């Protein structure tokens, strides 16, 4: 993938298709390839007549890494997202984030409202406001020299995921503290763009969709039936509902 430079980082990105732009923002420990290409989102959007644009977060995928926790906040990652739009001369886009990427997408809509036409938040419900639990054991798991010593269930899951994707574990561990920043209910209420909140019914990380959707002035919830946090990403019903949502709200 090509790269663009922003805030001392070289960030890899993808730009496929033609039509209204959908900016895709991936989740923690993931990448453009893992979150959007492999599960079929890029092809789905391209086939439906959209331009799919995505980037690897700082510290993730092919993008450059930092081990300074201060570099990883939703506001800074939101600025990366807008910098990509600037780089590609895209004035306004649909913005679709998954998990941590959904958090970044929400911050993008709040900080740069003129650049965001609609929001799709996947894998993150009321956890955007109430938090997503204790992630310190996950950071510890990522820093462990021997994965066999990791006993925390969620820590084991994310350590295995990071190893599978050959991620820089120390960069990911540095990302955890700041990237969990929450929005208040009042801040969510200031995000007026049409917003779809989609969370799996077996997702035990992001929190339920309906309570968050109710806080948005133009929010709606979609339950991804029978899917957990990992399996919701490529779910067919999620793809169908997202395409319907985009069709209902053209740029």
CATH code, 115:
3.40.50.1820
pLDDT value of position 49: 98
The tens digit of pLDDT for each residue in 65-107 reads: 999 999 999 999 999 999 999 999 999 999 999 999 999 999 9
Nearest C-alpha neighbor of 243 from the set 17, 12, 22: 22
β pairing state of 51-55 and 9-16: antiparallel
Residue 162 lies inside a defined structural domain of this protein: no
Residue 104 lies inside a defined structural domain of this protein: yes
Residue 168 lies inside a defined structural domain of this protein: no
Under the banding of pLDDT at 50, 70 and 90, the label for residue 115 is very high
Residue 224 lies inside a defined structural domain of this protein: yes
Q: Domain containing 187: what range?
A: 3-132+179-248
Cα–Cα distances in Å, from 134 out to 51, 129, 137? Answer: 37, 14, 7
Asked whether the predicted pLDDT for residue 133 surpasses 90, the reply is no
Nearest C-alpha neighbor of 172 from the set 76, 80, 59, 63: 59
pLDDT value of position 223: 98
pLDDT value of position 205: 92
Query: Average pLDDT in the 35-60 region?
Result: 98
pLDDT value of position 219: 98
pLDDT value of position 195: 98
pLDDT value of position 134: 87
Average pLDDT, the chain: 97
pLDDT value of position 130: 96
The tens digit of pLDDT for each residue in 167-215 reads: 999 999 999 999 999 999 999 999 999 999 999 999 999 999 999 999 9
pLDDT value of position 144: 96
Query: Average pLDDT in the 147-175 region?
Result: 93
What does the longest C-alpha to C-alpha distance in the chain come to? Answer: 50
Residue 191 lies inside a defined structural domain of this protein: yes
Number of domains in the chain: 1
The token pair that represents 111 in the structure block: 């900080």
The tens digit of pLDDT for each residue in 213-229 reads: 999 999 999 999 999 99
Query: Average pLDDT in the 153-164 region?
Result: 92
């Amino acid at each position: 993938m090509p790269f663009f430079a922003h805030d001392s980082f070289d960030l890899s990105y993808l730009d496929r298709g033609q039509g209204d732009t959908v900016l895709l923002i991936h989740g923690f420990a993931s990448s453009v390839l893992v979150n959007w290409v492999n599960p079929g989102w890029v092809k789905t959007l391209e086939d439906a007549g959209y331009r799919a644009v995505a980037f690897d977060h700082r510290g993730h995928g092919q993008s450059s890494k930092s081990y300074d926790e201060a570099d990883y906040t939703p506001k800074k990652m939101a600025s990366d997202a807008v910098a990509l739009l600037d780089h590609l001369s895209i004035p306004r886009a649909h913005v679709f984030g998954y998990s941590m990427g959904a958090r970044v997408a929400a911050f993008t809509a709040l900080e740069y409202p003129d650049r965001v036409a609609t929001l799709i938040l996947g894998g993150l419900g009321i956890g955007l406001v109430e938090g997503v639990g204790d992630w310190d054991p996950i950071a510890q798991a990522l820093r462990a020299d021997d994965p066999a010593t990791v006993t925390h269930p969620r820590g084991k899951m994310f350590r295995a995921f990071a190893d599978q994707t050959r991620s820089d574990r120390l960069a990911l561990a540095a990302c955890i503290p700041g990237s969990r920043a929450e929005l208040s209910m009042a801040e969510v209420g200031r995000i007026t763009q049409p917003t779809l909140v989609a969370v799996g019914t077996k997702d035990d990380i992001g929190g339920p969709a309906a309570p968050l959707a109710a806080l948005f002035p133009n929010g709606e919830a979609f339950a991804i039936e029978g899917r957990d946090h990992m399996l919701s990403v490529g779910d067919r019903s999620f793809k169908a509902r997202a395409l319907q949502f985009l069709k209902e709200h053209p740029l």
